[in-house]
Each structure stands twice: as C-alpha cells, then as structure tokens.
Amino acid sequence: MATDSTAFSEEKLDKRHDIRLLRRLLPYALQYRFHFLIAILLVSVIILLELSIPYLTKITIDRYIVPRITAHRNSQGDAGPAKTRLYHADLSDPAAARIAARYPALFSPEGDSAVIAYADLAKLAPQDLAELRSRDLTGILRMAALLLILVCCNFAFVFVQAMLIEFIGQRMMHHLRVDLFTHIQNLPLTFFTRHPVGRLVTRVTNDIQNMHEMFTSVVSFVFQDLFLVAGITVLLLSIDFKLACICLLLLPLVVLTAYRFAEIARGAFRTLQIKIAEINTRFSETIQGIHVIQLFRHETENLRTFAGLNHEHYLTGMKQVRVFAVFMPLIELLASAALALVIYFGGGSVMEHTITLGALTAFISYMRMFFRPIRDIAEKFNILQNAMASAERIFLILDTPSRADASGPAVLRDKAEPIRELSFEQVKFSYPSGEPVLKDLCFTLRAGETLAIVGPTGAGKTSLINLIVRFYDPTQGRIMLNGSDIRTYSAAAVRERIALVPQDPFLFSGTIQDNIFTGKEKPSPLFEQAVLDAANCHDFIERLPAGIHTALNAGGDSLSSGERQLLSIARAFAKNPDLIILDEATSYIDSVSEQKIQAALNNLLADRTAIIIAHRLSTARTADRILALYKGRIIEEGSHEELMKKEGFYYRLNCMDR
C-alpha cells in the first residue's frame, strides 16, 4: 500500500517562527526560573573552574618546574645579546646558601639570590639538587593538590548542575506531555479522522522527547559553551596576542562548517521524524487490523510495505550519520590544524624565549578546549532546530479547537439541567468531505419518551447520535436542549446527562470495577451491588478469579461479547443519566445472552428518556415513537401501529425483516 507522504509534510520554519515558538515555551520554563537561576550560577562556577586548571598548570611550570628567563651576563657584568635560563636560589634559605657556597664556580651572587645556569643544575650532586629544589617540589605538591581539589569541585558542581537541569527538563516535559494528552482527549472526532494514531503517538513520545533534549541543553548551549568560548578567547589573547590571532584565523572556517552542518542535519532530522511517524502509523494499523491481515493472508504484502518504510527510515538515518561522519572529523581536522599552528609558532617563540614553556602548555590546553564547545554548539543548534520542528507540530495540535465547543459562544455553561426536552430544528449536517448526511431533521423528544430510529445502512442514524452527544455540531439548523441551543453548553455538560450503550462496547485495560465506575471515586459496596444486580452482571463476575477486581486487557478480549455488553450497561447504570442512547445492544448476541441483556436494558430504560437505534425492527415496536430515516431525511414518523397502517417505508422494512 502506498504511503501518503503529503500527509506527513511539514512547513519549513524560519527564525521568526522559531522565536514565536520559544515565546510559547517560555511559560513552561518560567515555572522553574529559580532552578534555572541556580543552574546558571553553577554553570558560571564550572566555567571558572575549567578555565583555571590550564592557567594553574602554566603557573606551576613557569614558577616551579622551568626557571624564568633572564638576560645572560658576561664576566664584566655587561648584559650580552643572548638569553639563558637561570635558576635563582634564595640565600635567606640556609640550605640554599650552603649549596651555593659549596659550588662557587657554578653560582654567582645577585642581590639576595645566587643564580646558576639551568644547564649547570645537572652538575650538582643528586642530594644537593633535591635539597636546593625542595621549595619547588613543595610548590609543585601544593599546586597538584590545588588542581586535584579544583577537579573534585568541578565534578561536584557538574553533577549538581546536570541533575538540576535534568530535573527541570523532566518536569517541563511532564507538564507539556500532560497538556498535550489532555488536549488530544478533548479534540473533536474530525481531528482523529485526519490524523493517524501513529502520528499522534509520535507527537506524544518522540516530539516531546525532542523538547526534553532542548530543555536540558539550552542552559548549557546559551551559557556554558558560549561563555567558555568567550573566556578561552580572552585568555588566549592575554597569554600571547600574536599567537592567538594566528590560531583564530581558522575560526571563520570553523563557524562556516558548523553552520553548514546544522543546515544539512536539520533537514535530515526533520525527514527522520516523518519516517518515524509513518512507521508508527503502519505498525499501529497492523496491530489494530491483525485479524483481517491474517484472515486474508496479507502478511507478505503488509511486510513489504513496512519494510519499504523501514528502508526509507534507514536511508534517512544513514544520511544523518554521513553528515555527522563528515562534520566531526572535519572539526577535529581544524582543531589539529590549530594545534599544529600553536606548536609551530609557539615552539619557535619558546626557543626564542619570547614566551614561557608554561604559557605554551596552557595555550595548547586552551586550544584543545576551544573546539569542544564549538562542536557542541553546532550539535546543540541542531537539537534546537529539531526541537523547534517538534514544537511546531505539538502546537499545531494544541492550537486545534477543543471538541465542538469552538463553534459555540465564547462562554459556555458547564452544568446542564436535567433533560426535559430535546429537539432538532431544520438540522443539516455534512462531514468534512462535504457530502450531506442529514437533511432538514425536525423532531422533539420529551422526558420519559422512548424514540426508535430505523433505516437502512447509511441512512444517517449514527450521525444523528453523534450530533446529540456533541461529537459534531450541525452544519445548519439547531439542536435545542430544554429550549436553549445545545452549543451554549460545554460538551462535557451535555455528556454528563447522557449515556451511550454502543453495539460493540470498548473496555479499557484495568479492572472490571475501573471500567464500570469510570471517572468516579470508589463506589460504596451498596451502590456497587445495586449496579451489578440491575445490569445482570453479578453472576458472571462472581465466576471470575478476582471478581470485580479482575484485570482486563485493552478491549476486554477475555470476555464474551455478551459479558462485555452487560459491563457496558452497568457503566451506563453507574452514570445514572437522564438520556439513554442504545445502539441496538443485542445485534450480535446469542439468544441466552440476549435475554440477560434485554432484562438489563429494561431495568436501565425504566423511567428514563431513551433513543434506540433499531437494527432489529422488533426492538422498535415497543418505542413510543419511531423515526424512519432514508438518505438523511425523516420520511415517516409515528408509533409502530400507525406506521404499519400506512403500509409505507416502515411497513416494507418490516416485511423484509421477517
């Protein structure tokens, strides 16, 4: 079966659209502004710690490991043109003074210090060298301990910041998913006819997960990576301006590469999301229609279609992999090129004694750090764009008006009075396809009456019921509830007064008690017993292993059709509605189950207003009035005896039903 790719096409976002979507996401973030503030402070501390470690390495090398460079002095005391490394021994230290006195040919007095050429240190006895440099070793030990403390502090702050950001992201994702799920539950049926289940599953799972990745990356993207790049740039320029400028010549090429990567990767990610939605849709349809697939031996054809979608997903995934496979090594190549420039020009500067070895070491460390946030920024920019595409799809659903309430007034009544009268006034209705289904319906149903609706398949019986329960609203005309337009009430207020017993009831996963007493607090034992007895459910429920607490799978497949129908009647009893709508609850039931169901229905209909969709005309005979529908119009109305006397449409239906 061909896939309708146009059904999954999506608009291309521009920056203005991105900004608008970010504004709509802002309320979810503002709930955790205090947490964000703490996270930003932690990020600032982490950046300072990361930047301090290479700089402390520089200080350690220049102060304790390699002596500073001073002008070389000749025997006349004149400064010569050359420079050499001299080690300065502090003569205030008795041990240093003893060693300097022991090697007068190597040490030269200079103020409060005795200097020795760095190359001549090897001429000292090992124990003298160790004693002379004991202060340096102590300094190195102190610096190593300080570095270890900074690393441990950095680990602790990174851990706390990561946990905090993850907490914020999880909570924001939780609120967004709940809002989306709540809104989807309240959408009109027309929405679900246009959107496959798999696509909606993708919105609630994959797209929300994309939003989570953005929530957990945005602080790092905005603060940590950008601030880290800025801090490294400042430090590089302060260490050696010329060398920094040489290395930063590669920056435009890096930025261009990252921008091009983000542009290509975004298209790949968007296509990948579409393919995931198509796979979810096909898989959902397969599960729902598995009995048809197996019955008509369509496994091979269905597998071929699924394999085609899966292969398209594979190709798109490989395109994404190729983009990363080119970008990551290219960034590493540019990073290596920058490092080569540092080693070449920096090494020459060390040999010329224009910078220290510690400065070169710090410079190399900072350059290695410099490309990491740039690579991360490119990846997170792509995450941001992918999340914006997901946000666009999520808000398209959230912007869909809820239920049929969108066609009514801005302020709706949340409570409906007990149903005294329900009337149709010149009601016309068409589905989104435009084909008229109901035409100029006019009738009135008063409290306590039973109205039967008969007619061939396609006459509009189900559509009429859908209008009453406000799955749809009339295209023209009005439905009046107690003298007021039904659209002045919220859909929830109308449905609170109505119970529908469908021809093929749906049971949810959970216990039998959960399915009967839906949306209600735990019933009292007395009320529970009364409902089960009235619905004739008590006998078969007692035979189940856990009674009313027996767990059912989705659909209640472990129960027979008759048992599911009895539970549906019990569900209607528990609601205690004013109006009962029966969609011929005994059409597909065996004769034994039919007797139990009919008895339960008689209990349910007692002293209540009822509408019966009569597939079996024997059911319609007991109704107070009968409406005969044909091609969306009421062509006959009256009691069974009146319509039989006319020998018209209803009479002919009865003759064919015998």
Q: With 50 as the cut, is the pLDDT of residue 11 above it?
A: no
Regarding whether 250 and 362 lie in a shared domain, the answer is yes
Mutual orientation of helices 357-398 and 15-30 as an angle, nearest 10°?
90
For 541, the domain range is 501-615
CA 592 to chain centre: 49
Regarding whether 339 and 276 lie in a shared domain, the answer is yes
Regarding whether 174 and 116 lie in a shared domain, the answer is no
Q: Which helix (H) or strand (E) holds 349?
A: helix 347-351
In-domain check, residue 630: yes
In-domain check, residue 157: no
CATH number assigned to the domain comprising residue 547: 3.40.50.300
Edge-to-edge strands, sheet with 579-582: 498-501, 579-582, 609-613, 450-454, 625-630, 633-638
Q: What is the total count of domains within the chain?
A: 4
Mean pLDDT over all residues of the chain?
81
Regarding whether 568 and 600 lie in a shared domain, the answer is yes
Regarding whether 597 and 637 lie in a shared domain, the answer is no
Regarding whether 450 and 374 lie in a shared domain, the answer is no
Mutual orientation of helices 15-30 and 33-60 as an angle, nearest 10°?
100
- 10 Å CB burial of residue 194 (0-12, 13-18, 19+) is exposed
In-domain check, residue 140: no
**DSSP secondary structure of 216-270:** HHHHIIIIIIHHHHHHHHHHHHHH-HHHHHHHHTTHHHHHHHHHHHHHHHHHHHH
Regarding whether 442 and 380 lie in a shared domain, the answer is no
pLDDT, tens digit, 9 for 90 and up, residues 371-401: 777 777 766 776 777 787 788 888 888 888 7
Regarding whether 191 and 99 lie in a shared domain, the answer is no
Q: Which whole number is the average pLDDT over 197-226?
A: 78
Q: Which helix (H) or strand (E) holds 499?
A: strand 498-501
Predicted confidence at residue 411, as pLDDT, reads 54
- The type of residue at 498 is I
Regarding whether 297 and 171 lie in a shared domain, the answer is yes
CATH number assigned to the domain comprising residue 354: 1.20.1560.10
Say if pTM beats, i.e. exceeds, 0.75. Answer: no
In-domain check, residue 427: yes
In-domain check, residue 43: no
In-domain check, residue 50: no
CB 62 within 8 A of CB 69: no
Regarding whether 636 and 649 lie in a shared domain, the answer is yes
Between CA 266 and CA 14 the distance in angstroms is: 12
Between CA 435 and CA 438 the distance in angstroms is: 10
Regarding whether 306 and 187 lie in a shared domain, the answer is yes
Q: Which whole number is the average pLDDT over 272-279?
A: 79
CB 268 within 8 A of CB 316: yes
Regarding whether 561 and 443 lie in a shared domain, the answer is no
Q: Which whole number is the average pLDDT over 4-28?
A: 61
Question: What percent helix, strand, coil does the chain show, rounded to 5?
Answer: 65, 15, 25
Predicted confidence at residue 2, as pLDDT, reads 39
In-domain check, residue 139: no
In-domain check, residue 61: no
Pairing mode of beta strands 113-117, 79-90: antiparallel
Q: With 60 as the cut, is the pLDDT of residue 76 above it?
A: no
